[in-house]
Amino acid sequence: MPETILTPPLAAAAIEDRSSARNPRRMPGATAEAEAALTVAWARDDDEVREAQALRHEVFVGEMGARLDLPPGTPAGLDVDRYDAFCEHLLVRAPGDGAEPGPVVGTYRVMTPAAAARAGGLYSENEFDLAPLAPLRTTMVELGRSCVHPDWRSGGVVMALWAALATFMARNGLQTMVGCASVGMRDGGHAAASLWRRLEASHLAAPEWRVRPRLALPVEELRQDLDVDAPPLLKGYLRCGARVLGAPAWDPDFNTADLPVMLRLDDLPARYRRHFLGA
């Protein structure tokens, strides 16, 4: 089981300069021994946030070909948007070299209800009308910008992230997680439309929680009969009891179809409650 270190969130932590510990170095491999030595912590300063942003850029731009609308003055090689400053950033690190911390190999950003109020709303509200979720807002967090380094996608990093997130939710009296699960559209969207039709029949949320996309994927113009597997992250959410809140939005910048997903702690199957919460 990876070591989980839940440090105070950025807003409550002292800011210190650790830039000397951020030198890039060769990425270690995801061996079983290395996965057992993963550490998880909340970013405590701007340098650590930038490490998460660098990993996001590597995955979203380098792998997926995303076109980012960056704030003026953003350093090269970072994925930054206006919501980052309001969010807590969860980091998974590979084993370090002596006293030096290991590189960030996985990340999530988390927007709490108070942070969403300060930011003027959630990131996913740019893609969906979330008005039906208003009754859940006081105990609802948004998960976003999740990614794992390509050398570390055997599952250990995601499990470490989820364990830390579940503990964070329980300790802070939070109940609901929402976010967008992205499906690549290199095939023009046919796989995403087919996946949506399957999930609509099997994992659609109750009518009172359903939301509408602002820029809908044109499902009716696409094939809907392909035998498509859900991406690994979405598949994991569904195993944990997540529900799809409605039809996918089209994100032209990231070239993805985004499915709105909600997971409530009360819906976690018993085996996952024991694994993540010890309950």
79 has a pLDDT exceeding 90: yes
User: How many Cα atoms within 13 Å fall on the side-chain side of residue 267?
Assistant: 15
Residue 8: pLDDT band (50, 70, 90) is very low
d(CA 152, CA 232): 13
Give the pLDDT mean for 164-185: 95
d(CA 185, CA 165): 29
Nearest in space to 155 (alpha carbons), one of 90, 92, 103, 228: 92
Res 32: pLDDT: 73
The beta-strand segments (E) located in the chain are 3-4, 39-42, 88-93, 104-111, 128-129, 140-148, 176-184, 212-213, 243-244, 249-251, 256-264
Q: Which amino acid is at 144?
A: G
**What domains appear along the chain, each with residue ranges and CATH number?**
3-277 (3.40.630.30)
Digit-coded pLDDT (tens) for 107-124: 999 999 999 999 999 999
pTM of this structure: 0.87
What does the block give as tokens for 89?
């950033």
d(CA 141, CA 110): 7
Digit-coded pLDDT (tens) for 35-62: 778 999 999 999 999 999 999 999 999 9
Report helix, strand or coil for 153: coil
Q: Which helix (H) or strand (E) holds 119?
A: helix 113-119
Residue 174: pLDDT band (50, 70, 90) is very high
d(CA 279, CA 93): 26
Q: Is the Cβ–Cβ distance between 261 and 237 less than 8 Å?
A: yes
d(CA 175, CA 122): 17
Instruction: Find tokens 């105070």 and name the residue.
Output: 8
